[in-house]
Amino acid sequence: MKDSYGFIAPYYNRLAKLVFGNQLALAKQSFISDLRKKKVLIIGGGDGKDYQIYQEGLQGDYWELSQAMLELAKKNLPKSSLNFQWGYFRQVEDQTYDEIWLHFVLDTMLDSEIVELLDQLKKSLVPSGSIFLVDFFQPTTLKSKVLQFLMISFFRIAAQHKRKNTPDYEELFKRCLWEKEEEHIFLKCWIKAQLWKKSDG
């Protein structure tokens, strides 16, 4: 399997900090609490650097498609009790988590892949569990629209991203019967951190 992030993995975090300062890390830390009591599933966690301050309380599974990113995550999170797994997330029979973290990963997927994943993840969460989503939403200012266009173009070349736009997360989550519980906004609504629970309906 080709490593789409192989080339940019060593620079990814520095590049993100250069463009966005600490905003992405802050968004990713939004809802993190009481980790020692939780089993967490992290999909597409990248180099794991922004989770370093929490590593001692982190337990569960860490799935990464990029071998280069996964190796960095193992080095950056040596004190965690995470199981590092390479490849596309696969549901393991009877394996459930208290939280599932999807941080800047769904924007790398097509709508059909997101729907398939969101349906699959229902079986991976305990009934009271939640998905913690953080990602880029529709930009609202001229500056963020220009920056978003440049970012999408860059990642289409550097990491073979398939999308030309941002997913309509809310529509996709609702279609898959998830219910939004809480939201924090960053950079004038361009980045949102959201908690989603399984809906009864």
Interface with ligand SAM by CB under 6 A: which residues? 5, 43-46, 63-66, 69, 88-89, 103-105, 108
Residue with Cβ nearer ligand SAM (15 or 199) = 15
Residue with Cβ nearer ligand SAM (147 or 179) = 147
Residue with Cβ nearer ligand SAM (66 or 80) = 66
- 136, 104 in Cβ contact below 8 A? yes
Distance CA 158, CA 56 (A): 33
Q: Cβ of residue 117: shortest distance to ligand SAM, in angstroms?
A: 7
Beta-bridge partner residues of 59:
81
Q: Tokens 């590092």 correspond to what residue? A: 84
Q: Cβ of residue 200: shortest distance to ligand SAM, in angstroms?
A: 28
Q: Cβ of residue 100: shortest distance to ligand SAM, in angstroms?
A: 12
Closest CA to 155 of 144, 166, 143: 166
Distance CA 171, CA 167 (A): 9
Residue with Cβ nearer ligand SAM (173 or 199) = 173
